[in-house]
Structure 1
């Protein structure tokens, strides 16, 4: 069973990247285009709007798997900044400050920065084309 699961790791890495990319991209579309925005309607030029612009553009790059490691590193920093600016002032503990998602995602994106986007990414396809 471990051998089978290990063999699936590259595909699951790509699937996880796509799912995380869709989620981040959807936050960007909500903040920038007010598409299914709910409460996410920041003022133009506000820090939340700039975060939405990063989520939209870098999230799309991450979603399709182009510049995946750089995109993941930027998103990791964005999530860490969200935690430190919006959640940490409320409380140190994520269970009290509501920052568990930002803290968790920061480390998930840090993982992607080290692992890449998997075989179903533009990075992998471009690398395969360049190498042969």
Structure 2
């Protein structure tokens, strides 16, 4: 079997991009009702959800581009931890029953990106290569 380690930096970039675009979609749904309104989100949004949606859109865009990835991922990971404990955990212990699986997964994928970095397909990687 070929050595798959050579593909790790590319697959890391793919994980970063896909996770960030999915994360960004939640913010776009809250702020702009694109591609549809966020199910269950009040209209107008309270300030805390407006702040969360802004983090999702801006942080998601930065992570997708791989620009300031570690900082953006740290902020987004923290937001997802807070979202889980504020919105999902009070609904019950089990994530499959309280609807918190996505929040947990986003939290830990972004936490991983804080330590792993953006991968080779990123603006951060391009900037590092400049003299």
TM-score (structure 1 length as normaliser): 0.90
Query: What does 1:5-84 correspond to in 2, within 5 Å?
Result: 5-38=4-37, 39=39, 40=41, 42-84=43-85
Of 32-41 and 11-20, the range deviating more from structure 2: 32-41
RMSD over aligned CA atoms reads 1.5
Counterpart CA distance in 1 for 2:105 and 2:20 is: 15
Q: CA deviation at 1:95?
A: 2.1
In 1, are the aligned partners of 2:70 and 2:114 still within 8 Å (CA)? Answer: yes
Q: CA deviation at 1:45?
A: 4.5
In 2, are the aligned partners of 1:69 and 1:116 still within 8 Å (CA)? Answer: yes
* Structure 2 runs not aligned, ≥5 long: none
* Structure 1 runs not aligned, ≥5 long: none
Counterpart CA distance in 1 for 2:54 and 2:125 is: 26
Counterpart CA distance in 2 for 1:90 and 1:50 is: 22
Task: Give the secondary structure class of the aligned counterpart of 1:88.
Answer: helix
In 1, are the aligned partners of 2:59 and 2:72 still within 8 Å (CA)? Answer: yes
In 1, are the aligned partners of 2:23 and 2:106 still within 8 Å (CA)? Answer: no
TM-score (structure 2 length as normaliser): 0.90
Matched residues, number:
129
Match of 1:126 in 2: 127
Q: CA deviation at 1:98?
A: 1.3
